[in-house]
Structure 1
Amino acid sequence: MNIKNNILETIGNTPMIRLNKVAKDIPATVLAKVDYFNPGNSIKDRMALKMVEVAEQEGKLKPGGTIIEGTSGNTGMGLALAAVVKGYKCIFVTTDKQSKEKADILKAVGAEVIVCPTNVMPEDPRSYYSVAARLAKEVPNSYHMNQYDNLANRLAHYETTGPEIWEQTGGKITHLICTAGTGGTIVGTAQYLKEKNPDVQIWAIDVYGSLLTKYFRTGEIDMNEVHPYISEGFGEDFVPKNYDMSVIDHFEQVTDKDGAVMARKLAREEGLFCGYSAGSCLQGLMQLKGKLKKDDVVVCIFHDHGSRYVAKIYNDQWMIERGFLDVKTFKDVISSRGTKRLITIEPQQTVAEAVELMKKYDIEQIPVMNNEGPLGSISESGLFQKVFNNPEIKSSKVADVLEPTLPIVTFDTPVEKLSPLINKGNGAILSKDEAGNYHIITKYDILQALGK
């Protein structure tokens, strides 16, 4: 029988998956080391377990003790799994920019979670670094793991991630692409790979707003480089001790938008439902693809699972609000189909005239307007019932059979916000352009726009 004794024995040995569609324009073979297959759904399970084991060996973490850590969520999950199996308590400190899902997951496995402000300096007493350090002093029988400066972090990847990648590629890897955060994953993996083949190129992917790229290039810690960013799980406003820049060959920065959009593309085109850092990792590779050759074997590390970001990068509204989606608007629908004359009818005209207009232009709904604007509407379905019940109504004025005015929106309203306005009572939507002219779009127009 092949039975694991506990959940910790399932950590590691994650799959290597070829990228086919998203990497079709890259001349090299592009592979993904998909570490969301770890039990905690992220690569951080590896180093979390290693940090616990080393702390136990060194006598720093004692039976019944409390693990304290500042985490963006994933390290906390790995530590929480270890704590459940080994009988420790956990207190995790995170920032208010992290997704709510991450905090909820940590609480689900028994951890206490404290949320701190993001936009403060590391030495600020409110920062999650400072709060974690303070708690370690105040809570009896506790130990602060400190993934940033704890070298067991990079040791975990030297011992597991690097050897797995070397074996899975048959030693043919030429490039490793990895986002840079605490430094543990990229440095530990790079140390092993460079020992096996010093020519393996290590490319670190960073985010704008992090100081790591400039530090790599100049050796200077420039706080002017630091500004708030939305990307999660990588980038830093200080240099953790896990870094050994000598094993890294290049740093590349990507934008918050590009990383988020690429993560969604990975899900749609490869079926890989990954987190923010995976999208950023692949985007960084795309920016560097001109440096690759046909025989190169590139490995991208995809750190965590997309379930932690369903309210963020996988939420259309969140993406739209930040300008990360190229949103089609009412104006775009009108422009793409070609401007058509709006067919309207005046209230004093007859129902018979309205029916003729519907037949002539093959339309189902007509706005009723006068010189001041919309007064209401009439629809094919509404007229059918009225005429069926009273054929004489054809000679009546449109004003006598008036239905509610069609919804009116601004010309720049996103298409995604239009569809809920279409229902049985409203088969179309109106808007006025910059010149004051009214336009109409129907359910069919919206479906056409969303399908493009």
Structure 2
Amino acid sequence: MKYAKNILETIGNTPLVQLNKLTEDIDALVLAKVETFNPGNSVKDRMAVKMIEDAEADGRLQPGGTIIEGTSGNTGMGLALAAIIKGYKLICVISDKQSKEKIDILRAVGAEVVVCPTNVEPTDPRSYYSVSKRLAEETPNAWYVNQYDNPSNAIAHYEQTGPEIWEQTEGKITHFIVGVGTGGTISGVGKYLKEKNPDIKIWGVDTYGSVFKKYHETGVFDENEVYPYITEGIGEDILPKNVDFSIIDGFTKVTDKDAAVYTRKIAKEEGIFVGNSAGAAIKGMLQLKQHFTKDDVVVVLFHDSGSRYVAKMFNDDWMRERGFLEVAVTKAGDLIAQHKNVPLVTLRTEELVSHAIERMRKYKISQIPVEDVNGFVGSVNESDLLRAFIEDKNMSDKPVKEVMGAPFPVVTVDTPLDKLSKLITRENDAVLVALADGTHHIITKHDIISAI
């Protein structure tokens, strides 16, 4: 009989899958190393088990101990599987930008999850780096994994992932492309492949808000390049010891929007349901296509499963809120499509200024059209109200007509976007769109910026 003695024995030997539709403009053969076939659904299963086994061997991890690690989710899952089989407790420290699915999955497999803020310095005591270290110091019989600097991370990929790719391509691989986070995958795989053939090019995919690309090119750690970003699983605001820059031939950066859009494209055009870093990796590969020839074999590694991003990149509302959804916006009707079922908030000329303030607060808006029995006759915005209060502290008891400005311009649903943009100026905050049924909707500066 053929069977695995436990789930850990199923790790590895993930398939290489040819990409077709997304690579129609590329002459080279492009293959995806689909790591979601691992039992924990990510590339991190490999190094999680390796780090634990090496810690067991040298005594850092004792029987019945507690494993503690800062993770973006995938390493935590690999550690959780190993902890279950080997009888350890696990505490995962995760940043609040990670998807809810990742947090829920970790808890589902028995891990204790501590959530920390993303937008703090690595040295801040609230950061997930700092909290991980503190918990390891405070918890009896604990071992802090530290995947960023733990050499077993890269060794796992040198011993497993690299040889798999070499054998699966029969040594014909010419380029390896992968998103870079802890650096273990690119450094381990890259080292193995370079030893087999020094001409193989190793490319890292970075994200805006991360330091890797500039540091690789200049040797300068530029703190001005560190800022919040949405893409998960790649990029860093530190330099992990596992990133061996001498092995990497170059980096390309991918925007949050492109990473999210291409995550969806992989699913819809190739039928491969993978995660956010895969979207970044495939877009990075497309940005490098000038480096490929028809005889090349390009391998792109897909880190994890799309199931961990269902509420994010695979959710239309989430994508739309961030301006990532690829919807053609050319006219006024397109701009109001998402809120045309929400009634327009208005004021009457004789209503009090206090009513205007209350309405702005209730609906979280900053401008309101004013009407009387004959139609729209004016408008108020938060700047008007602020100036009015500075001049007269009793303004809240006066009618809106005493502080209102000119009425907003009215356009039709077919008014082009460029004409709309010209109507919104420093003096005019919004435009009203007249519908065929006699109702109106509002377009603000925010709507136009979001469309852009």
Deviation at 1:326, TM superposition (A): 2.6
Which residue among 425, 435, 440 is the counterpart of 1:438?
435
User: 2:435 is aligned with what amino acid?
Assistant: Y
Deviation at 1:69, TM superposition (A): 0.1
Q: Is the 8 A contact 1:329 1:411 kept in 2?
A: no
Deviation at 1:258, TM superposition (A): 0.3
Q: For residues 334 and 19 of structure 1, do their structure 2 counterparts lie closer, same or farther at Cα, with a shift above 3 Å needed? A: closer
Q: Is the 8 A contact 1:98 1:232 kept in 2?
A: yes
Deviation at 1:288, TM superposition (A): 1.0
Deviation at 1:291, TM superposition (A): 1.5
1:154-169 to structure 2, matched below 5 A, reads 154-169=154-169
Deviation at 1:222, TM superposition (A): 1.2
Following the alignment from structure 1 to structure 2, what is the Cα–Cα distance between the partners of residues 259 and 283?
7
Give the match for residue 133 of structure 2: 133
1:284-295 to structure 2, matched below 5 A, reads 284-295=284-295
1:411-430 to structure 2, matched below 5 A, reads none
Q: For residues 191 and 108 of structure 1, do their structure 2 counterparts lie closer, same or farther at Cα, with a shift above 3 Å needed? A: same
Deviation at 1:331, TM superposition (A): 4.0
Following the alignment from structure 2 to structure 1, what is the Cα–Cα distance between the partners of residues 123 and 300?
33
Q: Is the 8 A contact 1:148 1:240 kept in 2?
A: yes
Deviation at 1:244, TM superposition (A): 1.2
Following the alignment from structure 1 to structure 2, what is the Cα–Cα distance between the partners of residues 59 and 184?
23
Give the match for residue 444 of structure 2: none
Following the alignment from structure 2 to structure 1, what is the Cα–Cα distance between the partners of residues 93 and 38?
22
1:19-418 to structure 2, matched below 5 A, reads 19-328=19-328, 331=331
Deviation at 1:221, TM superposition (A): 1.2
User: 1:6 is aligned with what amino acid?
Assistant: N
Give the match for residue 397 of structure 1: none
Deviations 1:400-431 (A, max 9, x none): xxxxxxxxxx969xxxxxxxxxxxxxxxxxxx
Following the alignment from structure 2 to structure 1, what is the Cα–Cα distance between the partners of residues 63 and 435?
73
Deviation at 1:241, TM superposition (A): 0.5
User: 1:287 is aligned with what amino acid?
Assistant: Q
User: 1:10 is aligned with what amino acid?
Assistant: T
Following the alignment from structure 1 to structure 2, what is the Cα–Cα distance between the partners of residues 170 and 241?
31
Give the match for residue 342 of structure 1: none
SS of the equivalent of 1:245 reads coil
Q: Is the 8 A contact 2:181 2:234 kept in 1?
A: yes
RMSD over aligned Cα atoms: 2.1
Deviation at 1:41, TM superposition (A): 0.4
Q: For residues 65 and 285 of structure 1, do their structure 2 counterparts lie closer, same or farther at Cα, with a shift above 3 Å needed? A: same
TM-score, structure 2 as length reference: 0.75
Following the alignment from structure 1 to structure 2, what is the Cα–Cα distance between the partners of residues 82 and 326?
40
TM-score, structure 1 as length reference: 0.75
User: 2:226 is aligned with what amino acid?
Assistant: V
Following the alignment from structure 2 to structure 1, what is the Cα–Cα distance between the partners of residues 105 and 54?
25
Deviation at 1:218, TM superposition (A): 1.0
Gaps of 5+ in 2: 336-372, 376-411, 415-429, 438-452
Following the alignment from structure 1 to structure 2, what is the Cα–Cα distance between the partners of residues 224 and 138?
34
Deviation at 1:163, TM superposition (A): 0.2
Deviations 1:84-131 (A, max 9, x none): 000000001000000011010000010000000001111111100000
Q: For residues 333 and 150 of structure 1, do their structure 2 counterparts lie closer, same or farther at Cα, with a shift above 3 Å needed? A: same
Larger radius of gyration: 1
Give the match for residue 422 of structure 1: none
